[in-house]
Amino acid sequence: MWTTSSSNPIHPDLRDVVYVTGVREGDDKDWQFLWSKLQTESVESEKSKLFEALGSSKDANLLEKYLEETLTLSNVRLQDVAQVFRAVGNNPQGRQVQFKWLLTHWNKVQMAFKERFPEYVLSMVRKKFSILPSIV
């Protein structure tokens, strides 16, 4: 199984595909495995693969948890917030989750980020949902 080895034998050129497939077709243990890996990873290119893969889950609860992590900025750095939103928004199941999450948590988002909420995140979300410009 792809999660059983701490020394990752997956070829670097295949990791993004393996990670995305593992999270999309896996369960919460697979998602948690990559989340833990993200917390200890220091190579930015590898982190980008992990951010993208974590957003590919079919589990709405995991996607909401992932979006929640952007509010504290303790496990997701401000400069990585866009990667989380992009990853969830690129996921067909994630788009609706992301939209509902933003509507539900908009006040928290505003409080957490104040003026620092990346405008490019909003523009990225607006492209996916034409209704959003009228409410933000």
| Residue-wise DSSP of 16-62 | HHHHHHHHHHS-HHHHHHHHHHHHH---HHHHHHHHHHHTT-S-HHH
Whether 131 shows a pLDDT value over 60: the answer reads no
Which residues, 6+ apart, have CB-to-CB distance to 55 below 8 Å? Answer: 63, 66, 84, 86, 87, 88, 89, 90, 91, 94
The per-residue pLDDT for 107 is: 85
Q: Over pLDDT 90: what percentage of the chain?
A: 52
Cβ atoms of residues 84 and 76 within 8 Å: yes
Rounded alpha-carbon distances, angstroms, from residue 119 to 15, 81, 115: 30, 11, 9
The per-residue pLDDT for 109 is: 83
- Assign 12 a pLDDT band (cuts: 50, 70, 90): confident
What's the rounded mean pLDDT across residues 84-102?
Answer: 91
For the record, the structure tokens of 99 come out as 């939209």
Which residues, 6+ apart, have CB-to-CB distance to 16 below 8 Å? Answer: 49, 52, 53
The 10 Å Cβ neighbour count of residue 10 is: 14
Whether 73 shows a pLDDT value over 90: the answer reads no
- Assign 38 a pLDDT band (cuts: 50, 70, 90): very high
Q: Which of 7-16, 53-62, 64-73, 89-98 has the highest mean pLDDT?
A: 53-62
Q: Which residue has the tokens 């190579």?
A: 43
What's the rounded mean pLDDT across residues 84-101?
Answer: 91
Considering the chain, what is the average pLDDT of its residues? 85
What's the topology of domain 15-134? Zincin-like fold (1.25.50)
The pTM of the full predicted model, rounded to 2 decimals, is 0.83
The per-residue pLDDT for 66 is: 97
**pLDDT tens digits, 95-105:** 889 989 988 99
Q: Is 93 exposed, middle or buried (0-12, 13-18, 19+ CB in 10 A)?
A: middle
